[in-house]
Structure 1
């Protein structure tokens, strides 16, 4: 199914409902949830999925697993997606929070094929075999740590969301503490209690995460300079240490066909 509302087919008697969707550039899909678990794959472009407790950045060839019933919003940049909406009872191993995963070539091709299935596809035929194989492939995927936690407190969450919108290496703890009328020590203690990390470590991770969409249209060297790193090597080392993947893997690459 292509460019349809998944909820219109939610009660279809199929364990897996594949849907392909093309979004206009810069589209924001506001807060919503699904009764089914969702596997959301970025065929092109970069998505940012946000829940109440974190954001997950999903560039081309990656996907995010979203638990059933979890409220989330999605921001898109030149995005075309392939989704699977899955009955929760069929995937008891599904995570209870969002995770980003690397999509294998086989899984990608299966998703592209499945997007052309009708809602009433034959579960005993070829289509059913494809959807069964999709679930086996998803269960074997390895998570990629392209996410950052968000504090549950409204005032701390607002600070973090503002920073994610416009990361700035010049912002420090003193500025954040002043916005909340707290001392630096009290602010840092409260922030660490909410997120498990220091404010400085959180901002560093957020800046590196902001590099992912930038890397589609700029070189590693250009992004390093924009984010305040002295050299591309320093940026590459920091990005790789934080996320376990080199920033060069995030750049736009031509795909045959």
Structure 2
């Protein structure tokens, strides 16, 4: 199915509904929730998924697993998605929190194929077998560290939200502590309790994940590093690798284009 609202098909008696959707540039899907679990795959572009608990960056050819009834919003930057909406009873093993995952070449092709199926595919036969293989592959996906956890404390959450809009690797903890009227030591305890990370770790991860959309849009590493406040591209590359495990060039427009050449997204 293509560009079909989920509400029109949600009641179908099938474990998995596959829908491909093309979004306009810089589109925002405001907070909403689905009865079904969702496998949200970025066929093109970069997505930013937000919930009460955190923010997840989803580069091209990766996906995010969104548990049933989880309230979330999605910012789309040049995105075409392929979504699987899955009956909760079919995936009792589905994670309880959002999770960005790497997508194998096999799963990618299976998902693209599922979008072209009749939504009322026979419950036995070739299409049903494809769906079962998709669920098997999803269960064994590798999680990626592409999330920024967000604290429940209202004051700290406001500062975190503002930082995510314009991150700066040198934003000092003293400024945050002063804004909250606490000591830097107390700020450190608040970050640990609310995010599981130190202030420095959280700041670095937020900067790195913010860079993904700019890299995917074709911005050079030098410019991205300078925008985030890094002294030089090497320092940014080292930070990026420590968070993501791969260099920033792996997420740039050229790398994405090469991946598309290896297996074009079917229109």
Greater shift, 103-112 or 185-194, is seen at 185-194
Aligned-partner Cα distance in 2 for 1:234–1:174:
23
Partner of 1:203: 203
Aligned-partner Cα distance in 1 for 2:127–2:174:
58
Q: Deviations over 1:190-244 (max 9, x none)?
A: 2322222222321111011111111112122322222222332222221111122
- Asked if structure 2 preserves the Cα contact closer than 8 Å seen for 1:47 and 1:58, the reply is yes
- Asked if structure 2 preserves the Cα contact closer than 8 Å seen for 1:22 and 1:81, the reply is yes
Partner of 2:143: 143
3-state SS of paired residue (2:204) = helix
3-state SS of paired residue (1:128) = helix
Partner of 1:227: 228
Aligned-partner Cα distance in 2 for 1:31–1:16:
23
- Asked if structure 2 preserves the Cα contact closer than 8 Å seen for 1:144 and 1:244, the reply is no
Q: Residues 240-251 of structure 1 correspond to what in structure 2 (within 5 A)?
A: 240-251=241-252
Deviation of 1:104 after TM superposition, in Å, equals: 1.2
- Asked if structure 2 preserves the Cα contact closer than 8 Å seen for 1:37 and 1:67, the reply is yes
3-state SS of paired residue (1:155) = helix
Q: Which runs of 5+ in 1 are unaligned?
A: none
Partner of 1:105: 105
RMSD: 1.5
Q: Deviations over 1:152-194 (max 9, x none)?
A: 1222111111111111234211211222233333333223222
Query: Are positions 1:133 and 2:133 aligned together?
Result: yes
Provide the TM-score with structure 1 as the length reference. Answer: 0.94
- Asked if structure 1 preserves the Cα contact closer than 8 Å seen for 2:25 and 2:76, the reply is yes
Aligned-partner Cα distance in 2 for 1:194–1:106:
37
Query: Are positions 1:236 and 2:237 aligned together?
Result: yes
- Asked if structure 2 preserves the Cα contact closer than 8 Å seen for 1:7 and 1:34, the reply is no
Q: Which runs of 5+ in 2 are unaligned?
A: none
Partner of 1:57: 57
Partner of 1:194: 194
Partner of 1:75: 75
Greater shift, 47-56 or 210-219, is seen at 210-219
Aligned-partner Cα distance in 2 for 1:42–1:194:
29
Partner of 2:44: 44
Aligned-partner Cα distance in 1 for 2:138–2:197:
30
Which runs of at least 4 in structure 1 moved beyond 4 Å after TM superposition?
none
- Asked if structure 1 preserves the Cα contact closer than 8 Å seen for 2:16 and 2:84, the reply is yes
Aligned-partner Cα distance in 1 for 2:136–2:155:
42
